[in-house]
Amino acid sequence: MSRILVSACLLGERVRYNGASAAADSGILEHWLAEGRVVSFCPEVAGGLGVPRPAAEIAGADGAAVLAGEARILTRAGTDVTGQFLRGATLALDAARTQGVRLAILKDGSPSCGSTTIHDGTFTGTRRTGNGVTTALLERHGIRVFSEQEFEAASAYLAGVEE
Ligand code: SF4
């Protein structure tokens, strides 16, 4: 049975930078939980960052650029947290590989978990198209990432890989 990596905050865990969760309301997710497919993971906490923690954004680039060593992740005060984000992404990939994960549902907009948009590095609430660091690493290794707006598409993808 394929397993599904899910952002811990989407499962109601209070691990976001501001100490909140972002619990997803989805019948598909409930079904996957009942089947025992769900692997809960928060890359930023796994990477060593606390809760709460200062918000951080990729500075003018995306997760792929961070993986390539061409961009950094900074807090508003300018603290470089790139290392913690990269560690969290690596640990997410390790967890996915060891637990038979084929796809992921990750919280969009996050510098770790974003899959359609991320913040643009200006701390003004402005989003740009792009992936977070964990999303970029998972997809590089063949694990398809969907956002919390894409449960239907993820369910169809799962059905396809399990045919
Ligand atoms: Fe949620 Fe991902 Fe941010 Fe953790 S790193 S709080 S799982 S969006």
Classify residue 137 by its DSSP letter.
H
pTM more than 0.85? yes
CA–CA separation, 22 and 105 (whole Å) = 13
Residue 163 clears pLDDT 90, i.e. is over it: no
Q: Atom 6 of ligand 1 has which residue's CA nearest to it? A: 16
Give the number of the atom of ligand 1 that is nearest the alpha carbon of residue 22: 1
Residue-wise pLDDT tens digits, 131-156: 999 999 999 999 999 999 999 999 99
Tokens of 163: 């045919």
Q: What percent of the chain has pLDDT over 70?
A: 100
Is residue 45 a contact partner of residue 70, using CB atoms and an 8 Å limit?
no
- Alpha-carbon gap, residue 9 to 21, rounded angstroms: 5
Which residues lie below 8 Å from residue 63, measured CB to CB, with a gap of 6+?
89, 111, 114, 118, 130, 131, 132, 133, 134, 135, 136, 137
Q: Is the pLDDT of residue 118 over 90?
A: yes
β-pair type (101-105, 117-119): unpaired
The share of the chain scoring above pLDDT 90, in percent, equals 99
* Best of 16, 53, 116, 117 for a ligand 1 pocket test (most atoms within 8 Å of beta carbon): 16
The 10s digit of each residue's pLDDT in 67-89 is 999 999 999 999 999 999 999 99
* Domain spans in the chain, listed from the N-terminal domain onward: 3-161
Residue 3 has pLDDT above 90, yes or no: yes
Ligand 1 within 6 A of 147 CB? no
